[in-house]
A and B are shown apart, each in its own frame.
Chain A
Amino acid sequence: MKDDHSGAPRTPPIQSATFSQSVNAEIRRAAATGIYDIRGGGAKRKVPHFDDLLFLGASISRYPLEGYREACDTSVTLGTRHARNPVELDIPITIAGMSFGALSGAAKEALGRGATLAGTSTTTGDGGMTPEERGHSKTLVYQYLPSRYGMNPDDLRKADAIEVVVGQGAKPGGGGMLLGQKITDRVAEMRNLPKGIDQRSACRHPDWTGPDDLEIKILELREITGWRVPIYIKIGGARPYFDTTLAVKAGADVVVLDGMQGGTAATQDVFIEHVGMPTLACIREAVRALEDLGMHREVQLIVSGGVRSGADVAKCMALGADAVSIGTAALIALGDNDPKWEDEYRELGTTAGAYDDWHEGNDPAGISTQNPELAARLDPVEGGRRLRNYLKVMTLEAQTIARACGKNRLQNLEPEDLCALTMEAAAMAKVPLAGTDWWPGKPGPAF
């Protein structure tokens, strides 16, 4: 640092941790535009996550299974509580709800193809069910959303399960917006709205309020579908103990719990980053609710929000989930944020891996777009193959861990198989801090 004229050393410039360069840049952007930042995806901030957990593996006191040889069952049955036809899946990794509109038709088709090849389910989104999606999905979950865009009894009866969406992890308590530039003729027709206008997805259902009403709404859905298919209730990670309790009370066959790392097609950045809880903090509370009701494993729990690998799958299941759901990871498997499009990402003012303006419809990978030229970049057959491969790898990874823990079934993984690397993760997952037999909040004698 240059001295001043007196020759005394000067204090070097210090960047504020509070007013960091990125914070200041956002202030300047807000001041220049007068609009908050809207983006897709889930929370980008670092929060306690599955990486903060480790499996202990077998030892003298635990007997492992032989990898590649001894069986390790990955199948799961969802919706055993009331439905005449529960959903039977070969693997416990499902594809989360994403709308036609937010995604191209080819992307939805690829998700259906990949899920079907891997023996799992995919899910519609806000905007209704497309024939391509139904046609390419052996098992399709139909979302019942506040907007009711495209909702009709014929599609409802074509579904293999119905998912009543109360909230999602990226924005618990929030609705959504599909901006006008993605509203093509077909999207507009499916949603009964004019082409080119911003389409608001409501934050609450139009015809029920609270758990007592929800119970009656579920009765209606069951009556319309002849009690044939399971009813899921999807909740955002906000108050998982109470929301799970109320979902079960309302009659859910399956609870889908989405933490704050779960993605969205579009909402305010401030919502994504500052509302909701990390997925890791939600799971044990939801399981506790199910256990308190005597319904753990009778009402199945699907966890989503930041699941990326077989290790994450195994950790979710060890904490008590019956299955997981992936959205962002599935899009990456299809080609989202691939560095091969780096030049175009730069033209959009971003870079591969950071692209999150999914709402603008300019996705170079042709996934979160309705632009026909861009959408044509995604081959749905190849996309389906890539997704199938990825799901296969995740499953093999989860099996590898389960066998190492001596489990011949993924669902047999348990909290006892885990330890935590940090105090925060130990408290949230309610598993011991590595090298101890203790976690914050563990019942027992006080210090």
Chain B
Amino acid sequence: MTMLLVEGLSKRYRDHQVLTEVAFGVGRSEIVGLVGQSGSGKSTIAKCILGLERPHVGRILWHGESLSERTVRRRARRGMQAVFQDPRSSLNPRWTVRQLLSEPLDNWLPAERGVIRLARLARLLDRVALSADLLDRHPHELSTGQCQRVCIARALAPEPDLLILDEPLSALDVSVQARLIELLLDLHRTSGISYLLITHDFAVVADICQRIVVLDKGNVVETGKVDDVLSRPTHAYTQALLRDVLPMPG
């Protein structure tokens, strides 16, 4: 069954149509890449899914129920978490890693305290390959890569089914990107978590994703398995994008 289903999603800012009848889905344990250039509407889709923007037309279903229902939204807030592009500004600079990771846990496991909580925090950091020694550090005392790992750990805290990753690697240098891709794949293998990866980078999509949705000016122009789309793109826009970033076969 499709876990997240976006149906006929349209969004307009004043006279500017940002999204037009966008439709796609993310299944259980699936990694879907949402690809497009800047301004194609990728992040607006993420905001609509996360409830930060309200679509004008269309609906978003979470496990078959509409996210416009309050109770469904509440369930979805635990089941789907987000990681944004800039890890530094995604973390409250005045909080320690302990506070940052504890916040979602306080929401979902309010009774958990003391040693049990500490063990959970250490486990969370371990899952993203960070040491528990960092618990009392502030974001500015960490590298950008470490900050993004903390963001991922925080997103993993409520044990979600889906992570929405909005350009999670673009603020990082290439070597850190490679390690984070490895980490994301490892988490997917061990926990079966699904990803909706929003990116403009086909190389990252090729590394991580199983399925791809190509977006151009708010319209889905192509969708399919990653290997198929990357090797035999049917839409001119996808072909042009691929020509820019990947060497075309033949």
Do the two chains belong together in a single complex? no
Interface residues of A (CB under 8 A from B): none
Taking Cβ atoms with an 8 Å cutoff, the residues of B that contact A are none
